[in-house]
Amino acid sequence: MAKKNISAADNKKIENLAPDTIDSSGEFMTTDQGLKINDDNNSLKSGERGATLLEDFILREKITHFDHERIPERIVHARGSAAHGYFQVYESMAKYTKAGFLQDPSIKTPVFTRFSTVAGFRGSTDLARDVRGFAVKFYTEEGNYDLVGNNMPIFFIQDAIKFPDLVHAVKPEPHNEIPQAGSAHDTFWDFISLTPESMHMIMWAMSDRAIPRSLRMMEGFGIHTFRFINAEGKSCFVKFHWKPLLGMHSVAWDEAQKISGKNSDFHRQDLYEAIDSGAFPEWEFGVQIVAEEDEHKFPFDLLDPTKLIPEELVPVIKIGKMTLNRNPDNFFAETEQVAFHPGHLVPGIDFTNDPLLQGRLFSYTDTQLSRLGSPNFHEIPINRSINTVHNNQRDGHMRQQINVGKSSYHPNSTGGGSPMQAKVAEGGFSSYEERIDARKVRARSKSFMDFFSQATLFYNSQSEPEQNHMRDALRFELGKLQTPVIRERMVGLLTKVSSKLAAEVAEGLGMAVPEPKEPLNHSYGADANPADYQDKPQKQNIDKSPALSMSNTSKDTIKTRQIAILATDGVDGHSLSTVKAELEAEGAQTKIIAPHGGAIKNTKGIAVKVDMSFLTAASVLFDAVYIPAGAKGLLHNADAIHFINEAYRHCKAIAADGDGLDLLNETYVGSKLKKGKGPATTGVITGNGSIAKEFIHAIAQHRFWEREKNDKVPA
């Protein structure tokens, strides 16, 4: 056959099929098959508020590619910690749902709960400013149920088709893979500044919720609106909550950064050691119930994952409790291989048309296929259902179940018709029969378009210290940016949340507040008219929600709190042992910190075991500091003085007994004490004996943020 001559133009086409680099400047967006995309912002739905359609090949291609980008760690939520435990319902929820595990208070349903950061890799720090994953696998008699949520009740985006873009933006920048586990860089804030629907979540992410003191001291949320369905087929909407019995507590941002250097496994170790010591973490399970007929009575859309239902409008009903009481035996086999999926349901719980949830229902199975390498990931022990699995799915990589018999199809007669379909009355799952009658569209409901009202509600609901922390967080994050126009866009968006906040952030950045303008709104396709979507903020039913502020959390216990006791040779044995015993009687854990390891001797020459030296300890790893009498040997110890100053800077309780006050007087704290009592010394307890009770009360308050009004402590 004669060789065909190839023209110069054809040669160029062939060369372009496999270019070394691709510059997309000025080019139209396409699918992986080269098809030009008209709308990259909305999945295909049956009506603006309808279910996402399986035929949306653009959504499936985009998310499939995203799910398979990295092997083998999770693309998001890679760094996790987990524990086994159980859940018990308080009383039957039959009025609302037929879910079996929510009926009998005498039944303990096994659970496996995984906590995680979102953005960082497996080796990143626990104390990054980030959302925390909060995923619970219930091993129920009706099958596994996964409640896959976060420690924040909302999310950055409204439609799952934008999830790859969000994560690409927040991950380390692709040209240099910097920064690790941090959002303080150009690509993240560029995306946010062009995506105003994210502003509510940004308020949460810049708040103290993003730097929790412990995984045991944070809330959990299902994020989406789900459905409960009872035995009569009646449906209601439901939001899921986890409320920690230890209360919600955070660390200071300066403290978080230092903990990352001192102990990047701080949260992981805290959870493991608490369970190992018998101090089992507990959360109450709560629900917000909304009747079907009340779906549209709120000034926001229940299907919008960037919105929450204020607890003052719909109270959280606490219906049960989860206790984590056993650490994993093998981190990889359990924590790393556990596979969660919001589509793992039981009868009595079902989905809504939340477009973020709808996309997750496809994504989670797909990403497990990539990570765990087989459709048989459900056979890994940590993922197995406690009731035996029976179906006609066969073979595949790493198959473990050995199926007997000759039939592997349905219907069949060779196997006697087994396995059989179950009627609803026999526990068979049936989806809620929601009426759908709509056009196929790529669009978003106008009811989703209020981007700022709840962001303002959240900010206004915070205490003054919490608002100050949000201001400083935004100054830190935006101050790291290299592109001035991104900062300008962000401060412009902040003016629509709070003019006060925008002005304070701008001042810290050394810039003027931009003139307010309508935000760029990505939430429509290339052919849509932006004017159709620029709805004004909706007036909320309430101006403030106390439930949104961590300052209103429970402050009545010091269980599992870590207390540093600073001591050296010559310590007063009675002063040390008495307060130590009273702290531990209240559930706190104490560590004696000294200039060296091994042991020190008290005034009677009796050896006292040292837990840590100043070289291995740091104030940021503790919740409070106690200085017993007989601390004269530390008067000129720079490490001890720094330890106290730093604890004071981070607003922690400090107590000194007897001549322990002499050591305090050598610190910055002493200069405040000499000027008299007041806000600057709130939480600093001194006296001669009998100070334990007051000290315990102070520790229970967690922090004394009012100290931050004063000048910064040199520590």
Residue 522 tokens, joined: 């990505």
Q: Is the pLDDT of residue 5 over 80?
A: no
Indicate which CATH number applies to the domain containing 625.
3.40.50.880
Q: Residue 349's beta-bridge partner residues?
A: 228
Indicate which CATH number applies to the domain containing 225.
2.40.180.10
Determine the 3-state secondary structure of 552 from DSSP.
Answer: helix
In this predicted structure, what is the pLDDT of residue 234?
96
Catalytic residue among 41, 42, 77, 267: 77
Q: Is the pLDDT of residue 45 over 60?
A: yes
- Kindly state whether residues 219 and 356 are assigned to the same domain: yes
Query: pLDDT per residue over 375-419, tens digit each?
Result: 888 889 999 998 888 888 888 888 888 888 888 888 889 988 888
- Kindly state whether residues 468 and 583 are assigned to the same domain: no
Lowest mean pLDDT among 137-146, 374-383, 693-702: 374-383
CA gap 88, 66 in Å, rounded? 37
Q: Quick check: is 421 in a domain?
A: no
- Kindly state whether residues 547 and 560 are assigned to the same domain: no
Check residues 400 and 711 and name the one with the higher pLDDT: 400
Q: Quick check: is 255 in a domain?
A: yes
Residue 250 tokens, joined: 């955070």
Lowest mean pLDDT among 237-241, 470-474, 605-609, 689-693: 689-693
Q: Quick check: is 39 in a domain?
A: no
Q: Is the pLDDT of residue 712 over 90?
A: no
Give the Cβ contact number of residue 531 at 10 Å. Answer: 7
Helix, strand, coil: what percent of the chain each, to 5? Answer: 35, 15, 50
Q: Is the pLDDT of residue 179 over 90?
A: yes
- The percentage of residues in the chain with a pLDDT greater than 70, rounded to a whole number, is 94
Q: Is the pLDDT of residue 1 over 60?
A: no
Q: Quick check: is 425 in a domain?
A: no
Domain span including residue 515: 450-521+535-551
Pairing type for strands 109-117 and 132-140 reads antiparallel
- Kindly state whether residues 482 and 568 are assigned to the same domain: no
What is the residue-wise DSSP string for 603-644?
TTS-EEE-SEETTT--GGG-SEEEE-S--GGGTT-HHHHHHH
Query: pLDDT per residue over 9-31, tens digit each?
Result: 544 443 444 445 567 778 887 77
- Kindly state whether residues 497 and 570 are assigned to the same domain: no
Q: Residue 627's beta-bridge partner residues?
A: 656
Stretch 218-243: mean pLDDT, rounded?
98
Stretch 649-664: mean pLDDT, rounded?
96
CA gap 498, 512 in Å, rounded? 15
Pairing type for strands 589-594 and 562-566 reads parallel
- pTM given for the model: 0.91
Q: Quick check: is 151 in a domain?
A: yes
In this predicted structure, what is the pLDDT of residue 517?
74
- Kindly state whether residues 367 and 455 are assigned to the same domain: no
CA gap 497, 562 in Å, rounded? 38
Domain end position, chosen among 366, 383, 400: 383
In this predicted structure, what is the pLDDT of residue 40?
85
CB contact burial 144-157 (16+ within 10 A = b; e otherwise):
bbbbbbbbbbbbbb
- Kindly state whether residues 508 and 647 are assigned to the same domain: no
Residue type, 302: L
Indicate which CATH number applies to the domain containing 545.
1.20.1370.20
Q: Residue 594's beta-bridge partner residues?
A: 613
- Kindly state whether residues 631 and 539 are assigned to the same domain: no
In this predicted structure, what is the pLDDT of residue 532?
63
* Length of the chain measured in residues: 715
Q: DSSP secondary-structure letter at 681?
A: G
Angle at 181 between CA 176 and CA 185, to 5 degrees: 55
In this predicted structure, what is the pLDDT of residue 14?
39
CA gap 321, 284 in Å, rounded? 4
Stretch 75-93: mean pLDDT, rounded?
96
- The percentage of residues in the chain with a pLDDT greater than 90, rounded to a whole number, is 73
Q: Is the pLDDT of residue 55 over 90?
A: no
Structural domain count of the chain? 3
In this predicted structure, what is the pLDDT of residue 82?
98
Q: Quick check: is 415 in a domain?
A: no
Stretch 108-133: mean pLDDT, rounded?
97
Determine the 3-state secondary structure of 515 from DSSP.
Answer: coil
In this predicted structure, what is the pLDDT of residue 550?
97
* Catalytic residue status for 77: yes
CA gap 10, 517 in Å, rounded? 49
Determine the 3-state secondary structure of 695 from DSSP.
Answer: helix
Q: Is the pLDDT of residue 480 over 80?
A: yes
- Kindly state whether residues 264 and 317 are assigned to the same domain: yes
Stretch 662-689: mean pLDDT, rounded?
84
- Kindly state whether residues 545 and 626 are assigned to the same domain: no
Pairing type for strands 624-627 and 653-657 reads parallel
Determine the 3-state secondary structure of 430 from DSSP.
Answer: coil
In this predicted structure, what is the pLDDT of residue 530?
63
Domain end position, chosen among 383, 415, 432: 383
Query: pLDDT per residue over 262-280, tens digit each?
Result: 999 999 999 999 999 999 9
Q: Quick check: is 666 in a domain?
A: yes
In this predicted structure, what is the pLDDT of residue 393?
85
Catalytic residue among 41, 42, 150, 383: 150
CA gap 556, 700 in Å, rounded? 6
Domain end position, chosen among 346, 366, 383: 383
pLDDT, mean over the chain: 91
Residue 20 tokens, joined: 């070394």
Lowest mean pLDDT among 105-109, 332-336, 392-396, 517-521: 517-521
- Kindly state whether residues 610 and 509 are assigned to the same domain: no
Q: Is the pLDDT of residue 692 over 60?
A: yes
Check residues 206 and 522 and name the one with the higher pLDDT: 206
Give the Cβ contact number of residue 646 at 10 Å. Answer: 22
Determine the 3-state secondary structure of 469 from DSSP.
Answer: helix
- Kindly state whether residues 569 and 614 are assigned to the same domain: yes
Q: Quick check: is 588 in a domain?
A: yes
Q: What are phi and psi of 677, to 5 degrees?
A: -65, 160
Query: pLDDT per residue over 525-555, tens digit each?
Result: 777 766 666 666 788 889 999 999 999 999 9
Q: Is the pLDDT of residue 6 over 70?
A: no
